[in-house]
């Protein structure tokens, strides 16, 4: 039954996700469709990964994100545009609706053009703050590209992101990249400040000496500092509770052809190095458009784990203090295939057994016997609490960059039936009472016999009484 079900799921998933785990209709919004030549390698990479790209300009009449209440596109890329707003078809409201319908958005900004108000409002909705006046430029006088911006210092050279700050988070963006050889060039970009929301994660932070200023007003003196150092997020990721993804890339230029294969040179180093931008852009767009970091629950099974008990799957009811085993099978989508999901080093997949609040929160361990080439099973055995009621097996696995897993299976836990307790003769404290019962019974029988068959001792006294 289980294998049939997972086979069905697998076939279903295979049909839906040829390239991305959630569809391949991609909308690209540009100031001018001719501008797409600047991004030809980035867009060509996307096309070669199977996306069907449509190009539109923001003010286009025919542009509609929804048709008859359904999404017309699965993903959107918004490149910088000149206009103050984005027109009636791309209001912040519509973009939020698009995300609520599980659409993914990638926004690229540039410091050359003020950010459209529509996007500023959308970002404010997601707790991302942009510099005042919608204009900002990130510079770093210590980590700039000596070849292309020896004076303005507005092309930042950054090492690829690493997982050192949080070892329990999977490293999707910098994995496999050498910290010295692979350099990301961040050219003329806008830095953002992220709110404290748990849904937001910075992908690429600015170095500690970087800062953001307004090139129009603060070219002499930075009188009002927006943000500096690692508080500036250059590339940031947002994943909504429905796993819709939103990525803000501060520099649209870093996605352009000229930075994909450009050679850059760090300050004080003679050697020119090729940038890591192409691979980084692939990973950022791949994450945004559900090509990596997508989790799928294949099946969930729980059963009584006691000797001699029937091994029925997913019963509706258990008894208190029963030993049970819970197993969940997870797959992770990685570019083209569903792979077994492996936990990042320091992380734990946890099962909560909860009624209002958790009674148990236990780590699940890999169950090789039920794993396969495309799925890994995690299981845990435990004893149900000594409290009856309606309980949930809850796996609430929410992690940065991984799509949310929230699986709740409700079961009843009944109390002990009267014949499931130990018998009274097993309980040593009951022995005097059981002995009392036996003595009463024996005494009663002896009394009956004595009363019926006892002959009088003094016959005379008895006869007197009867007279």
Distance in Å, CB of 270 to other proteins, minimum: 14
| CB neighbour list of residue 329: distance below 8 Å, 6 or more residues apart | 6, 297, 298, 299, 300, 370, 371, 375, 376, 377, 378
Of residues 286 through 325, those in contact with other proteins by CB under 8 A are 321
When binding is defined by CB under 8 A, the residue of 131, 186, 399, 413 that contacts other proteins is 399
Q: In this structure, are residues 80 and 31 in contact, taking their beta carbons and an 8 Å threshold?
A: yes
The interface with other proteins within residues 363-382 (CB under 8 A) comprises: 363
User: Which of 220, 307, 308, 356 lies at the binding interface for other proteins (CB under 8 A)?
Assistant: 220
Q: Is 386 in the site for other proteins (CB under 8 A)?
A: yes
Nearer to other proteins, 307 or 452 (CB): 452
Give 184 or 380: the residue with its C-beta nearer to other proteins: 380
Window 162 to 181, contacts with other proteins (CB under 8 A): 166, 168
Q: At its nearest, how many Å lie between other proteins and the CB of residue 219?
A: 4
Tell me which stretch binds other proteins (CB under 8 A): 6-14, 92-100, 178-186, 350-358. Answer: 350-358
φ/ψ region of 33 (left if φ > 0, alpha if ψ in -120 to 50, else beta) reads alpha
Among 60, 350, 371, 409, interactor with other proteins by CB under 8 A: 350
CA distances from 179 to 139, 154, 187, 465 (A): 21, 21, 19, 119
Burial class of residue 73 (count of CB atoms within 10 Å of its CB; 0-12, 13-18, 19+): buried
Cβ 450 to other proteins shortest distance, Å: 5
Copy the structure tokens of residue 156.
Answer: 């930042």
Question: Which one of 32, 133, 180, 230 is in contact with other proteins (CB under 8 A)?
Answer: 230
Binds other proteins by CB under 8 A, chosen from 219, 336, 381, 410:
219
Q: If you ran DSSP here, which 8-state letter would residue 114 be given?
A: P
- Count of residues in contact with other proteins, rule CB under 8 A: 77
Q: CA 431, CA 420: separation in Å to the nearest integer?
A: 20
Least separation in angstroms between residue 412's CB and other proteins is 17
Residue from 36, 193, 358, 394 in contact with other proteins (CB under 8 A)? 358
Angle between helices 277-288 and 40-48 (to 10 degrees): 50
Contact region with other proteins (CB under 8 A), list: 25-33, 112-120, 178-186, 452-460: 452-460
Which one among 348, 355, 366, 411 touches other proteins, defined by CB under 8 A? 348
When binding is defined by CB under 8 A, the residue of 33, 64, 272, 448 that contacts other proteins is: 448
Rounded Cα distance, 126 and 195, in Å = 8
- Candidate residues 88, 150, 178, 389; the one interacting with other proteins per rule CB under 8 A: 150
For 41, residues 6+ apart whose C-beta sits below 8 A from its C-beta are 257, 260, 278
Among 14, 16, 272, 449, binds other proteins (CB under 8 A): 449
φ/ψ of residue 119, rounded to 5: -75, -35
Write out the two tokens for 82.
Answer: 């000149």
In the complex, least distance from residue 362 CB atom to other proteins, rounded to whole angstroms: 6
Note whether 359 and 434 are within 8 A (CB).
Answer: no
Looking up tokens 């003595």 gives: 439
Select from 82, 141, 179, 241 the one that contacts other proteins (CB under 8 A). 141
- Counted residue by residue, the chain has a size of 467
Give the integer Cα–Cα distance in Å for 82 and 283.
Answer: 27
Q: What mask of x and - would describe binding to other proteins in positions 422 to 441, judged by CB under 8 A?
A: -----xxxxxx-xxx-xx-x
Which residues between 255 and 284 bind other proteins (CB under 8 A)? 267
Stretch that binds other proteins, among 6-14, 116-124, 247-255, 361-369 (CB under 8 A): 361-369
Out of 4, 15, 221, 356, the only residue in the binding site for other proteins (CB under 8 A) is 221
Measured from the CB atom, the residue of 37 and 197 that comes closer to other proteins is: 197
Q: Which of residues 11-40 bind other proteins (CB under 8 A)?
A: none
DSSP classification of residue 389 = E
Cβ at position 212, least distance to other proteins in Å: 11
Determine if 152 is a binding residue for other proteins (CB under 8 A). yes
Alpha helix ranges (H) inside 31-133 = 40-48, 92-100, 117-125
Q: Is the dihedral of CA 198, 201, 206, 210 positive or negative?
A: negative
């Amino acid at each position: 039954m289980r294998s049939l079900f997972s086979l069905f799921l697998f076939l279903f998933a295979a049909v839906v996700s040829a390239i991305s785990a959630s569809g391949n209709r991609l909308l690209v919004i540009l100031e001018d469709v001719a501008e797409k030549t600047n991004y030809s390698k980035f867009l060509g990479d996307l096309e070669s990964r199977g996306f069907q790209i449509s190009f539109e300009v923001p003010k286009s009449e025919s542009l509609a994100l929804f048709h008859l209440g359904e999404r017309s596109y699965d993903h959107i890329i918004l490149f910088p545009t000149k206009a103050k707003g984005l027109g009636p078809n791309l209001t912040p409201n519509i973009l939020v609706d698009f995300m609520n319908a599980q659409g993914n958005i990638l926004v690229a900004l540039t410091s050359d053009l003020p950010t459209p108000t529509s996007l500023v409002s959308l970002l404010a909705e997601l707790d991302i703050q942009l510099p005042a006046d919608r204009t900002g430029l990130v510079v770093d006088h210590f980590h700039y590209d000596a070849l292309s911006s020896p004076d303005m210092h507005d092309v930042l050279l950054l090492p690829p992101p690493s997982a050192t700050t949080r070892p329990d988070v999977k490293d999707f963006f910098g994995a496999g990249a050498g910290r010295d050889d692979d350099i990301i060039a961040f050219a003329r970009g806008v830095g953002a400040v992220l709110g404290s929301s748990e849904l937001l994660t910075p992908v690429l932070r600015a170095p500690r000496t970087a800062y953001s200023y307004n090139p129009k007003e603060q070219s002499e003196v930075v009188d009002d500092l927006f943000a500096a150092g690692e508080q500036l997020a250059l590339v940031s990721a947002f994943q909504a509770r429905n796993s819709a993804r939103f990525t803000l890339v501060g520099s649209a230029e870093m996605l352009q052809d000229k930075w994909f294969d450009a050679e850059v040179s760090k300050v004080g180093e003679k050697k020119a190095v090729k940038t890591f931008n192409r691979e980084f852009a692939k990973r950022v767009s791949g994450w945004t458009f559900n090509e990596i970091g997508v989790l799928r629950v294949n099946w969930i099974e729980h059963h009584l784990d006691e000797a001699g008990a029937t091994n029925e799957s997913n019963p509706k009811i258990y008894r208190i203090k029963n030993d049970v085993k819970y197993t969940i099978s997870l797959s992770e989508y990685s570019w083209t295939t569903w792979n077994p999901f492996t936990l990042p080093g320091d992380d734990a997949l946890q099962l909560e057994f909860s009624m209002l609040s958790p009674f148990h929160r236990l780590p699940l361990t890999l169950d090789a016997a039920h794993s396969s080439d495309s799925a890994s099973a995690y299981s845990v055995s435990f004893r149900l609490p000594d409290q009856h009621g309606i309980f949930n097996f809850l796996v609430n696995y929410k992690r940065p960059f991984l799509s949310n897993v929230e699986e709740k299976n409700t079961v009843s836990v009944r109390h002990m039936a009267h014949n499931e307790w130990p018998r009274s003769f097993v309980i040593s404290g009951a022995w005097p009472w059981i002995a009392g019962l036996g003595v009463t019974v024996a005494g009663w029988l002896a009394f009956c016999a004595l009363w019926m068959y006892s002959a009088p001792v003094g016959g005379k006294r008895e006869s007197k009484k009867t007279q």
